[in-house]
Amino acid sequence: MTKSHTFWLPGQIDRDPHTKLSVQEHILNEAIVRADISAGFEEYLEIFDVFYAEDVELSSGIGQEPIRGKTSVRSILLNFLIPLHIMAEIGGLSISLRHTAIPGDLADETHSEWTLELAAPSGKTCTLTWRTFRKWSRTQVVCEHHYEHRQVGGPLTFEDLSLGAANLGDAYPKLSTLAS
């Protein structure tokens, strides 16, 4: 089943530059929040393709070198999205994502705060928060920097999710029955 989504294209907003950018930022953030990772990760890639420039630069406040170019950033994005999708669709992980705009001074820059809440079927939770700075050129993000990363709760394990062999029941034959 194909899910059809409609969001405004960045160039469709006719306002002053500062307001236009705030609206574009809001549309991008809302599209990210509304996408359903348990249904798949493709919608996030569509959003990325529309809103991010070919020469985008991604960086983080955790000491790694910036990643440059849409192809390289897409690879990093997939490494994050695919495990989340599997944990949500198969492992029963509940995922909640929200954002809050942070006022900024410059017309081509935006700031926001993000909260990602993960709740496993075991009841264990992990909450990640960070801030995002984006620099825009016309209608696309050319630079995105994530900083002030925080985590509340420990990492989730196979035992917390419905992924472990103990949770699969008799879906797979036991090794002892295969040997006989």
Report how far residue 16's alpha carbon sits from residue 19's, in angstroms, rounded to the nearest whole number.
Answer: 5
The CATH number fitting domain 15-167, selected from 1.20.1050.10, 3.40.50.2000, 3.40.50.2300, 3.10.450.50: 3.10.450.50
**Which of these, 102, 126, 128, lies nearest to 115 by C-alpha position?**
128
The pLDDT value recorded for residue 9 is: 55
Domain boundaries, the chain: 15-167
Q: What is the pLDDT of residues 19-28, one digit of tens each?
A: 778 889 999 9
The pLDDT value recorded for residue 31 is: 97
Banded model confidence at residue 171, pLDDT cuts 50, 70, 90: very low
The pLDDT value recorded for residue 140 is: 96
Banded model confidence at residue 11, pLDDT cuts 50, 70, 90: low
For the chain, the maximum distance between any two Cα atoms, rounded to a whole number of angstroms, is: 75
In this predicted structure, the answer to whether residue 63 has a pLDDT above a threshold of 60 is yes
**Which of these, 9, 34, 22, lies nearest to 95 by C-alpha position?**
34
In Å, how far from its chain's centre is CA 175?
38
16, two tokens: 């002053």
